[in-house]
Amino acid sequence: MLRALLDTNVVISATRYGGVPRECLRRGLAGEFALITGAALLDELTRTLRDRFGMPSEVVSFVRGDLELAAEIVQPARIAPVSRDPGDDVVLAVAIAGRVDHVVTGDRDLLDLGRYEGIAIVTPRDFLRILGGDAAGPV
C-alpha cells in the first residue's frame, strides 16, 4: 500500500478551504493509502488551527482526533539540515521514519527539493493523479 505524509499546510488547506487538499485528506482518512504523521506535525496543526486561524477547540480536537485514529504516528530521528526552512526538516524526518513514498505539500521549499532519500515530494494535485483521482478542482 502506498504510504504518504500530508504536510501540515495540506491538512490546514483541507480543513479551511476544501478542494484538492480536502480530497487528499478524505482519501487518506478512508484508508486509500497509509497516512503517516508525527507528534510534532500534529502539534503544529493544533497550534496553527487554534492560534493562527482561531478555530474553536472542539473543531481542532475533532480534526486532530480523526488524524490520530487514521494515521500511523511515527517517532522520527534527527536528520542533518536539508531544507532552506529548518522546520521542513521535521517533515522530512517524519517521512523517513514512516518509510513514506510521497510527501504531499504546498511548501515551495520542500517542493524545490523534488526528492529526498528516495521520497517523492509532490503537490496535492500531483498526488491525486498518482492515486488515480480527478485533480481538476481548485487547490
Pairing state between β 34-38 and 72-74:
parallel
In order, the DSSP letters of 95-109 are HHHTT-SEEE---HH
* pTM for the full predicted model: 0.93
The domains found in the chain, sorted by start residue, are 3-131 (3.40.50.1010)
- Digit-coded pLDDT (tens) for 49-93: 999 999 999 999 999 999 999 999 999 998 888 888 888 999 999
Mean of the pLDDT values across residues 29-54? 97
